[in-house]
């Protein structure tokens, strides 16, 4: 499940508070939310998270469609 961090983030709101599956680890990278505010690089893990489209958009989504979004570790909540 994803949570919405305080302030500006790069997390698309359509995936906030939705459940997805980690399908790939992209490694550790400079966390842009912190670096843009001169708070240092604060490296974080970056993951590809897969969502079923029907979990994101009720009514108009195809059940077989998947959506993959890259998310920083601080956006994730383990369930």
pLDDT of residue 29: 96
**pTM exceeding 0.85:** no
How far is Cα 60 from Cα 41, in angstroms, rounded to an integer? Answer: 40
Q: Are the C-beta atoms of 52 and 78 separated by less than 8 Å?
A: no
> Tens place of pLDDT for every residue, the chain, 79 residues?
555 555 666 788 888 888 899 999 999 999 987 777 788 889 999 999 999 999 998 888 888 999 999 999 988 877 6
Other Cβ atoms closer than 10 A to 51: 20
Contact 47, 24 (CB under 8 A): yes
For residues 52 and 61, give the distance between their C-alpha atoms in angstroms, rounded to a whole number: 9
Residue 5's pLDDT is 57
Q: Is the dihedral of CA 51, 52, 58, 60 positive or negative?
A: positive
């Amino acid at each position: 499940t994803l949570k919405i961090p305080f302030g500006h983030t790069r997390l698309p709101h359509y995936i906030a508070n939705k459940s997805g599956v980690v399908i790939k680890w992209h490694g550790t990278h400079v966390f842009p939310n912190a670096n843009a505010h001169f708070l240092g690089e604060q490296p974080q893990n970056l993951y590809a998270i897969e969502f079923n489209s029907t979990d994101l958009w009720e009514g108009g989504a195809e059940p077989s469609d998947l959506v993959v979004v890259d998310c920083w570790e601080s956006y994730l909540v383990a369930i």
